[in-house]
């Protein structure tokens, strides 16, 4: 079982996934900062200085903070747009690589020799 686990963990896909999760976490922190520190204050100024994090409704002794929920939705949308743009760029690069046909292989020595023989035969036929 330990051998199987070692084989599983050493596969390239598992390592790629681990790297993606770590980078995704860091990317999430960047997007959260972007939304909290840049996007939300701008939106707040546009709609009259409302601070979304403080928005809430008090029902009895419970407070429903729908402002935090709105902020989470904006976080999600910013992350979704960023991931969409990254995937779209990666797909366009992949399509460009696939669209370009590989160059034809260089002729082999046998093909070169046959070409020379063909050219000599043509030259003999045009003289006669």
Q: Is 25 within a domain?
A: yes
Q: Is 52 within a domain?
A: yes
Q: Is 61 within a domain?
A: yes
Q: Is 128 within a domain?
A: no
The domain in which residue 102 lies consists of 2-123
Summarize pLDDT for 108-125 with one digit per residue, the tens.
999 999 999 999 888 888
Summarize pLDDT for 69-101 with one digit per residue, the tens.
887 887 788 778 877 888 888 888 877 766 667
Q: Is 38 within a domain?
A: yes
The chain-wide mean pLDDT, for the chain, equals: 81
Question: Is 80 exceeded by the pLDDT of residue 50?
Answer: no
Specify the number of domains making up the chain: 1
One DSSP character per residue, the chain reads -HHHHHHHHTSHHHHHHHHHHHHHHHHHHHHHHHIIIIIHHHHHHHTTS--GGG--EEETTEEE-HHHHHHHHHHHHHHHHHHHHHHHHHHHHHHHHHHSPPPPPPPPHHHHHHHHHHHHHHHHHHH-
Give φ, ψ of 59 to 5 degrees.
-120, 110
Do residues 54 and 41 lie in contact, with contact meaning Cβ atoms separated by under 8 Å?
no
What CATH number is associated with residue 21? 1.10.1200.120
Summarize pLDDT for 51-73 with one digit per residue, the tens.
677 788 889 999 888 888 887 88
Q: Is 111 within a domain?
A: yes
User: Global pTM?
Assistant: 0.48
Do residues 35 and 20 lie in contact, with contact meaning Cβ atoms separated by under 8 Å?
no
């Amino acid at each position: 079982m330990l051998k199987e686990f070692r084989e599983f963990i050493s596969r390239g896909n598992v390592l790629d996934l681990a790297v993606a999760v770590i980078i995704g976490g860091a990317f999430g922190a960047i997007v959260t900062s972007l939304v909290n520190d840049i996007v939300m204050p701008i939106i707040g100024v546009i709609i009259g200085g409302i601070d979304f994090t403080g928005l809430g409704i008090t029902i009895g002794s419970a407070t429903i903070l729908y402002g935090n929920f709105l902020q989470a939705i904006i976080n999600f949308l910013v992350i979704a747009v960023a991931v969409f743009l990254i995937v779209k760029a990666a797909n366009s690069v992949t399509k460009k690589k696939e669209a370009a046909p590989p160059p034809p292989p260089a002729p082999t020595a046998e093909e070169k020799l046959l070409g020379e023989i063909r050219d000599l035969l043509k030259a003999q036929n045009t003289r006669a």
